[in-house]
Amino acid sequence: MLQQHLQKLWENRSAAAVALLPLTGLFCFLVWLRRYAYRKRIFSRTRVPVPVIVVGNITTGGTGKTPLVIAVVNILKQAGFNPGIISRGYGGKASSWPQQVRPDADPVMVGDEPVIIARRTGCPMAVGPNRVEAVNALLAHHDCDIVVSDDGLQHYALEREVEVVVVDGMRRFGNGWCLPAGPLREPVSRLDKADLIVSNGIPVGDEYPMEYAGREWIHVHDNTRSATMQQFAGQRVHAIAGVGNPQRFFNMLRDEGMEVIEHTYPDHYAFVRSDFEFDETLPILMTEKDAVKCERLGLETAWYVPIQARIGKKFDYHLLNILEAKRGQKTA
């Protein structure tokens, strides 16, 4: 698959990657030029009526952004805020944007990750390619006093109070080059401008460590049924992953003592029933992101594990302090 080939290419500075450096030079120049235009107000930036926290990354592929968004929203709720959420709605096939996202929304229309976030947070959410329009649509229908943007770190048209960047603790920054020779959307130096950096894995320097907690499986077709992680230990299973970093999911299952048959699909893949017609009838285990698109397929042996991000109280404290300081500067 193209996605897997690219991830392999970006692991080191191979001859194939070096051959792409002229295009990377052009990409980096355009990234710099775009940021310069926003910084000098050549391109306009919009400040919305409420504070905005952006949760994003500087690399392509899965870094664990969705669990971090959910964690940040829950921190804000516990602190007394009424947060709303916006997202791109990547992969959604709605004919018009922005779209409001409810827990029962169709992931085909609004995207898989927004449905997960809406269900897990219980907060209002709007999605659309234009983040400013998404915020305005959200505030027009809901009484939110703060907005969390799922992704959008590079969407500079929307002013933000706080930037939280998540880093893949396993893959880090690959070969350290920008697209297409490497996996970076922006140079690593972009992290110097972020307020908080979270590592999905082993942290480096001032990064906050994030780890996943998920010990219970939920049946994909009937969410009233559950199973413990231990119930699949020692078993041979079909593992389904249509996510940015499928190996993380496969490794988790192996760490739990399962014999894994890997089935990798492109990120945001739209599953159909025939994708699960395997030669061996075994338990089918998948990520929550894949499960929301498979609920209507009637899979009797399919399960998913809801993932929760654990970061620690130190992150909570610093996030709220930074937010308060930025809000103070705004009103001063």
From the CB of residue 204, how many other CB atoms can be counted at a distance below 10 Å? Answer: 12
Per residue in 60-88, pLDDT (tens digit) is: 877 889 999 999 999 999 999 999 999 99
Q: Tokens 């404290």: give the residue.
A: 317
Domain CATH code at residue 195: 3.40.50
Domain that holds residue 259: 215-306
Q: How far apart are CA 142 and CA 330, in angstroms?
A: 23
Angstrom distances, CA of residue 100 to CA of 147, 194, 273 = 14, 29, 28
Asked, for residue 106, whether it belongs to a domain, the answer is no
The total number of structural domains in the chain stands at 2
Q: Are residues 302 and 315 in the same domain?
A: no
H/E run at residue 109? helix 107-110
**pLDDT reported for residue 2:** 62
- For residue 261, what are the contacts with CB-CB under 8 A and spacing of at least 6? 236, 237, 238, 239, 278, 280, 282
Give yes or no for residue 268 having a pLDDT over 90: no
Q: How far apart are CA 257 and CA 260, in angstroms?
A: 9
Contacts 24+ apart (CB under 8 A), 255-262: 256/229, 256/230, 256/232, 257/233, 258/232, 258/233, 258/234, 258/285, 259/234, 259/235, 261/236, 261/237
- For residue 131, what are the contacts with CB-CB under 8 A and spacing of at least 6? 86, 88, 149, 152, 155, 157, 158
**Token pair of 88, please?**
């791109």
Q: Are residues 71 and 152 in the same domain?
A: yes
Confidence of residue 330 (pLDDT cuts 50, 70, 90): low
- In 3D space, the residue among 79, 209, 59, 249 whose CA is nearest the CA of residue 148 turns out to be 79
In eight-state DSSP terms, residue 50 is S
Asked, for residue 51, whether it belongs to a domain, the answer is yes
Asked, for residue 323, whether it belongs to a domain, the answer is yes
Asked, for residue 185, whether it belongs to a domain, the answer is yes
Asked, for residue 322, whether it belongs to a domain, the answer is yes
Q: Are residues 149 and 49 in the same domain?
A: yes
**pLDDT reported for residue 64:** 85
Q: How far apart are CA 319 and CA 325, in angstroms?
A: 10
Strand partners, 217: 227
Q: What does pLDDT average to over the chain? A: 93
Per residue in 6-60, pLDDT (tens digit) is: 778 898 899 999 999 999 999 999 999 999 999 999 999 999 999 999 999 999 8
Q: Are residues 174 and 201 in the same domain?
A: yes
